[in-house]
């Protein structure tokens, strides 16, 4: 599969885009329910997610089920090619980054990736053994590279539709593996 990541990404994006809106909404609710079975998610104080773009599975149902004491954060692009995470609540102002993705306008109290308890990562594809195929920019892999050398926290949980599963995704040495994966059908926890 070497060198086949971009054609695979394109195929999986098309597959994801073909999901009808009612199924997306139902999948978002099912993923929120599946995440509630994860102790680390139920006990988390700092949970980072993403703003769904390009057909990614939306997290509105997940955000609504966060523990009352948890703070939800969204990623903010940094000039060094990594992500930081800013607390955000529904209704807070957003700005658009250089890729057209909304980020919190208020970056007061921004957090480093290592300060988070749980991170919900978007994906284009995944394997059943915890490999994530992202969009190809490497933002999450650079930001969480320290997880190659140590265990959670933060717990890295891939979020996607079941139809995004592939048999293999040409994993690279810099790819940071997932600790868990939630789809509308199941929650998978990987031993690391």
130: Cβ contacts below 8 Å, ≥ 6 apart: 158, 177, 178, 179, 181, 188, 190, 192
Identify the CA nearest to 159 among candidates 27, 21, 4. Answer: 27
Q: Rounded to an integer, what distance in angstroms lies between the CA atom of residue 47 and that of residue 71?
A: 6
Q: What is the mean pLDDT of each run of 10 residues along the chain (192 residues)?
A: 72 92 94 93 95 93 91 96 96 95 95 97 93 88 94 95 89 88 95 72
User: What is the total count of domains within the chain?
Assistant: 1
Angle (CA) 189-190-192 rounded to 5° is 140
**pLDDT for residue 192:** 66
- According to DSSP, the β-strands at 187-189 and 180-182 are antiparallel
Residue 145 sits in a domain whose CATH number is 3.40.50.10420
Q: Rounded to an integer, what distance in angstroms lies between the CA atom of residue 40 and that of residue 189?
A: 11
**pLDDT for residue 20:** 93
CB atoms within 10 A of CB 183: 21
**pLDDT for residue 97:** 96
**pLDDT for residue 134:** 86
What is the extent of the structural domain holding 105? 5-189
Q: Which residue has the tokens 């593996």?
A: 177
Q: Rounded to an integer, what distance in angstroms lies between the CA atom of residue 71 and that of residue 181?
A: 21
């Amino acid at each position: 599969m070497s060198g086949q990541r971009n054609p695979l990404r394109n195929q999986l994006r098309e597959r994801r885009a073909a999901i009808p809106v009612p199924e997306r909404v139902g999948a978002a609710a099912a993923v929120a329910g599946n995440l509630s079975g994860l102790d680390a998610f139920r006990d988390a104080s700092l949970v980072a997610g993403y703003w769904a773009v390009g057909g990614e599975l939306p997290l509105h149902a997940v955000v609504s089920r966060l523990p009352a004491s948890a703070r939800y954060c969204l990623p903010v692009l940094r000039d060094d090619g990594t992500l930081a995470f800013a607390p955000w609540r529904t209704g807070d102002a957003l700005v658009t980054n250089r890729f057209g993705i909304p980020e919190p306008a208020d970056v007061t109290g921004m957090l480093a990736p290592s300060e988070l308890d749980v991170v919900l990562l978007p994906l284009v594809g995944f394997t059943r053994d915890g490999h994530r195929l992202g969009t190809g920019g490497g933002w999450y892999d650079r930001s969480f590279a320290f997880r190659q050398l140590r265990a959670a926290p933060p717990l890295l949980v891939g979020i996607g539709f079941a139809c995004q599963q592939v048999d293999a995704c040409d994993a690279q040495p810099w790819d940071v593996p997932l600790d868990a994966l939630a789809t509308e059908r199941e929650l998978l926890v990987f031993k690391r």
